[in-house]
Structure 1
Amino acid sequence: MANYSIKDLEHLSGIKAHTLRIWEQRYGLINPKRTDTNIRYYDQDDLKLVLNVSLLKDNGFKISKIAEMSKKELQEAVVEVSDKTTSFVDQIYGLTLAMIDLDEQRFEKIISSSTLKVGFERTMLNIIYPFLSKIGIMWLTDAVNPAQEHFITNLIRQKVIVAIDGQYETFDEKAKKYMLFLPEGELHELGLLFANYLIRAKGNKVIYLGQNMPFDDLSMVYDTYQPDYLFTILTNNSRAFDPKEYLANLSELFPNTEILVSGSQIIGEDLGLPDNVIEVANPNRILEFISAHQSESVSK
């Protein structure tokens, strides 16, 4: 089971460390453990408690009342709030707890409810994507183990694939064409699936090559499909992979095509990208690009 510092709890819950210490002293809400060397730490149950308290507090519950609740009363209050809330932040908290508890039913309830209320695209942009960013922070603090991360990302992957399958496609002859792929050694395709859904949702055509695509095979697909744009994501931090060199090679291979690129190896790295390579930091930036480059016939 993971151990957390009070700063970890602050980053994951949004509650200041100073406030958490006051709650410890005044209400005995959480009780830190100590290592053999007398260093304070918190466990997974403490993290879940703080996340639940944060959810209730954001929905009008007084901290003094929360501190008086039994474990059962706290859980019942959280379930009641989760059923009623339309707040994206609250739903992200709910997904975090579903991941920690490996609770597929809770995950399904949150995503299905949000999709019914605001649609899958807004659910993806306002809940799923920020939640995945939060998982990234949890990785940095060892707050989530590989099993929990695989559990939740595979559930999300299934949802995105089902949403893509359900898209009703009627393409205009002048619809823009996108070619989506991940480089060799790149296996995390969830972001690419997001892009696939968003591009198709705006009436564009997509050829989806998926993960681990050999560089030498790209030309053959390009020559056959003749895409207007390429899209890839670079997160591979292997020393054997040089993202700047890879993009330079892509740019040289396809000099007359705009290449959209995202991922942790690109965003904020100031690599000095080739002229035809465009950095898109997140799904909203992808949507902005799509809208700006939509063919007139499709946008009407």
Structure 2
Amino acid sequence: MKEAGYSIKDLEVLSGIKAHTIRIWEKRYNLLIPKRTDTNIRYYSDADLRKMLNVSMLVRNGFKISKVARMGENQLSENILSLTAQKASESDYIDRLILHMVNFDNKGFYNLASEIIGDKGLEDAVSKIFFDFFVRVGIFWQVGSIFPAQEHYVSGIFRQKLIAEIDKLGIDNTRNSTILFFLPEGELHEMSLLFYSYLARKMGYNVIYLGQFVPFQDLSKIQEHVKIDFVFTAFINSVLKEDLENYLEQLKGLFTDQKIFITGWQLQLHQPGLPRNVKIVKDYHEFKKFFR
């Protein structure tokens, strides 16, 4: 939690309930009782945030706020457990992941991630839940509702899960083609890269996975030792459009005979000019179509 606690805007962002609605519920149902700083600024505690996340889940699943507001902590928990025992919606899963994240609930988060993968399978778990979860986490981080340690914490758990699933596949190489996966220098967000490397391995490609923060000169050395058929990279971290376009030109110059596939938020933001052998991958359905 941040030093001064959570603002009502934080609660809005994290729970999905509008600040105006939260204020109405406070006045009408005494749902939350915010504390105040020495300078009379309202703030909310971890317990308030947990309650708001639980209330949000119940209301979204058809409970009336007038009834939810009268529930004690135990009754709230019982109803949440009852909901989660049923077939959970994708939105419910995301809310529960957020709740475990803000509490640094290692066991809860790890077990829930395992449950989602078991229920959905890895492809649907990542494409329908985990990716959307990280989009929301990115928004939370931008507005200051969470701090970087929370993002790194959950990223580490997802990374373990993806690597475990990749390891289960073994090495097939039935396609007899090699895809090089890497992130440029300064780029640390590898969740999408790991997922796409999983898909490639599952489809029978030979995968060379270099991971995060790869110096450009290392790519030149790889070219000297391995026959590369395709190149895949991602651009998530903030980058200037000019720098992005220059980097893509450098890649084209290095991998003149290969098809280069790229993904990431910065491409949607900047819509850069693309060299002739560079193709944007919007989602995993496109990836599978390109490489089937």
Work out the CA distance in 1 between the residues paired with 2:12 and 2:86.
26
The more displaced of 9-18 and 48-57 is 9-18
Is the contact made by 1:4 and 1:141 (CA closer than 8 Å) also made in structure 2?
Answer: no
Work out the CA distance in 1 between the residues paired with 2:105 and 2:138.
20
What do residues 11-56 of structure 1 show as CA deviations (whole Å, max 9, x unaligned)? 3222233322221121111233445554444343332221111111
Work out the CA distance in 2 between the residues paired with 1:146 and 1:289.
30
Question: In the TM superposition, what is the alpha-carbon distance from 1:63 to its structure 2 partner?
Answer: 1.3
2:63 is equivalent to residue 65 of structure 1: no
2:153 partner SS: helix
Work out the CA distance in 1 between the residues paired with 2:64 and 2:234.
44
Report what 2:182 is aligned to: 181
- Structure 1 moving runs of 4+ over 6 Å: none
Is the contact made by 1:267 and 1:279 (CA closer than 8 Å) also made in structure 2?
Answer: no
- The 5 Å alignment of 1:1-300 reads 1-2=1-2, 3-172=5-174, 174-237=175-238, 242-281=243-282, 285-294=283-292
Q: Specify whether residues 116 and 188 from structure 1 end up closer, same or farther in structure 2 by C-alpha distance, changes over 3 A only.
A: closer
Question: In the TM superposition, what is the alpha-carbon distance from 1:6 to its structure 2 partner?
Answer: 3.2
What do residues 34-84 of structure 1 show as CA deviations (whole Å, max 9, x unaligned)? 455544443433322211111112223221221111122212322232232
Identity of aligned residues (%): 44
Unaligned segments of structure 2, at least 5 residues? none
Is the contact made by 2:183 and 2:213 (CA closer than 8 Å) also made in structure 1?
Answer: yes
Work out the CA distance in 2 between the residues paired with 1:260 and 1:30.
49
Question: In the TM superposition, what is the alpha-carbon distance from 1:119 to its structure 2 partner?
Answer: 1.2
The more displaced of 222-231 and 48-57 is 222-231
Work out the CA distance in 2 between the residues paired with 1:264 and 1:209.
21
Give the aligned length: 289
Question: In the TM superposition, what is the alpha-carbon distance from 1:112 to its structure 2 partner?
Answer: 2.2
Residue type of the alignment partner of 1:117: D
Work out the CA distance in 2 between the residues paired with 1:125 and 1:162.
17
Unaligned segments of structure 1, at least 5 residues? 295-300
Q: Specify whether residues 77 and 63 from structure 1 end up closer, same or farther in structure 2 by C-alpha distance, changes over 3 A only.
A: same
Work out the CA distance in 2 between the residues paired with 1:119 and 1:286.
14
Q: Specify whether residues 31 and 279 from structure 1 end up closer, same or farther in structure 2 by C-alpha distance, changes over 3 A only.
A: farther
Residue type of the alignment partner of 1:141: V
Report what 1:298 is aligned to: none
Work out the CA distance in 1 between the residues paired with 2:97 and 2:58.
15
Work out the CA distance in 2 between the residues paired with 1:247 and 1:45.
47
What do residues 95-116 of structure 1 show as CA deviations (whole Å, max 9, x unaligned)? 1011111112211332222222
Is the contact made by 2:35 and 2:43 (CA closer than 8 Å) also made in structure 1?
Answer: yes
Is the contact made by 1:88 and 1:126 (CA closer than 8 Å) also made in structure 2?
Answer: yes
Question: In the TM superposition, what is the alpha-carbon distance from 1:168 to its structure 2 partner?
Answer: 4.5
Give the structure-1-normalised TM-score. 0.86
Residue type of the alignment partner of 1:290: K
